Amino acid sequence: MIPRLVVAAPSSGSGKTTVATGLMAALRARGLAVSPHKVGPDYIDPGYHALAAGRPGRNLDPWLVGEERVAPLFRHGAAGCDVAVVEGVMGLFDGRGDTGFASTAHVAELLAAPVVLVVDAARQSRSVAALVHGFATFEPGVRVAGVVLNRVGSDRHEELCRGALESAGVPVLGAIRRDDAVVNPSRHLGLIPAAERGAEAVRAVERLGELVARSCDVDALVRLAGTAPPLPGPVWDPAGEVEPVAGRPVVAVAGGPAFTFSYREHVELLRAAGADVAVFDPLRDPALPDGTAGLVIGGGFPEVHAAELAANAPMLAAVAAFGGPVAAECAGLLYLCEELDGRAMCGLVPGRARMTPRLTLGYREAVAVGSSLLTRPGERFHGHEFHRTVLTGGGEPLFRWRDGTGTGADGFGGDRITASYLHLHWAGCPEAAQRLVSSARPSSSRSPSVLR
């Protein structure tokens, strides 16, 4: 039995990150062990969740991992916790394309979890009742069990909203006043990651916890979480997804402020496949970790840190000379290319990248058209794109989008490299971890593997 609730909203920008993160912090301040989760592929919110709960933030995404794995992954992340808080994505019923697949409502049904709807009450009063009534009755399988009013202007405004909502039959569990002091800074891809803000992010999360504690009925929210029924079934176990290789090869995983996008399960799968995982910072470290036999360079914001990355010439040279297996996603792809916004990068893959005003965002069904470290021809992968850069250069693409979305083709591959804009969740394709670790071998037998 895992008490749990889903924090959702009618649309993005309603305040669900404020409420979800603040609730996690408020519950932890009460001495509860809190399991933090995020619906969808987003990497940034889970960083704040981790600060609030003191545990890794984990994603639940039916598109990336398959709907059959959502509940097992939830059980895995929430093991030993007193309560779980799941932050939704976009509007409650917004899923892939024009469907409800992978929506917050979809995940709430898979978890049999009650939903708390965060409603931006600014510039309305009685109309909030019509909005909540519509959301509460739109899909019978989704239980909207409470409302938190956000951006309430005054006592009178709160009174009007509460009175109107009595007719909707959904209790008001909190009313948060407008407070510019708790607004977190954003930039071109959303909130600035917590890892880049350091102590400032910690203070911001503490303020959110205090805000929710004084503005919401936390006891009622805990009771609501306790109404979720038992969630039977297996617990996801990385050891059951891969076979450990001998020799404990060291797999170095990029971290630090420039590479903050990763799913916790990736490291767990690498370890289950027999690797010793070592985190390194391409911004500051002068060399790869001792004994590195494989590299994982995930997503993040290299465009923000391009000058610093370019200035760390010893690390660029070390990655360029590395001959072992390399898996790179989005930011990792940019780091491996020849140039980023005119600054020299590692040069392991052909092409030059630059920032553009255009956001490329969405789920992708990718078909591998070539063999690479992580792919075999004809294999299909469910992933997503999330970037404002474009990469120009030669070579045949590694992936093509089956549904015609996005750019249509993407990626570079070789026997020891997979580099693409495509973000994958390895719980949905554990063979990625298996193939990477199985390809790792002692450094004495490696030679550079530059794509041309």
Q: Which residues are catalytic?
A: 330
Query: What pLDDT is attached to residue 79?
Result: 96
Higher pLDDT, 351 or 28: 28
Write the DSSP string, 364-376. EEEEE-S--SS--
Higher pLDDT, 139 or 190: 139
Radius of gyration of the chain (CA): 23
Is the four-CA dihedral 282, 284, 286, 290 of positive or negative sign?
A: negative
**CA contacts within 13 A on the Cβ side of 170:** 27
Express each pLDDT in 161-214 by its tens digit.
Answer: 999 998 888 999 999 998 766 666 654 445 788 877 888 889 999 999 999 999
Strands 144-152 and 115-120: parallel
Express each pLDDT in 66-101 by its tens digit.
Answer: 999 999 999 999 999 999 999 999 999 999 988 999
Residues 6+ apart with CB under 8 A from 446: 293, 322, 323, 324
Q: Which long-range contacts (CB under 8 A, 24 or more apart) does 181-189 make?
A: 181/207, 182/18, 182/207, 182/208, 182/211, 184/17, 184/48, 187/304, 188/359, 188/388, 189/44, 189/301, 189/359, 189/386, 189/387, 189/388
Environment class of 300 (CB within 10 Å of its CB; exposed 0-12, middle 13-18, buried 19+)? buried
The neighbour count for residue 252, using CB atoms within 10 Å, is 26
Residue 262, pLDDT > 80, answer: yes
Q: For 204, list phi and psi in degrees, rounded to 5.
A: -65, -45
All structural domains of the chain, each given as residue ranges with its CATH number in brackets, are: 4-225 (3.40.50.300), 238-445 (3.40.50.880)
Q: What is the pTM of this model?
A: 0.94
Helix (H) or strand (E) holding 134: helix 127-138
Write the DSSP string, 230-277. P--SPPP-GGGTS-PPTT--EEEEE-STT--B--HHHHHHHHHTTPEE
In the chain, the amino acid numbered 348 is L
Q: What is the mean pLDDT of residues 372-379?
A: 96
In the chain, the amino acid numbered 317 is A
**CA contacts within 13 A on the Cβ side of 54:** 11
Residue 351, pLDDT > 60, answer: yes
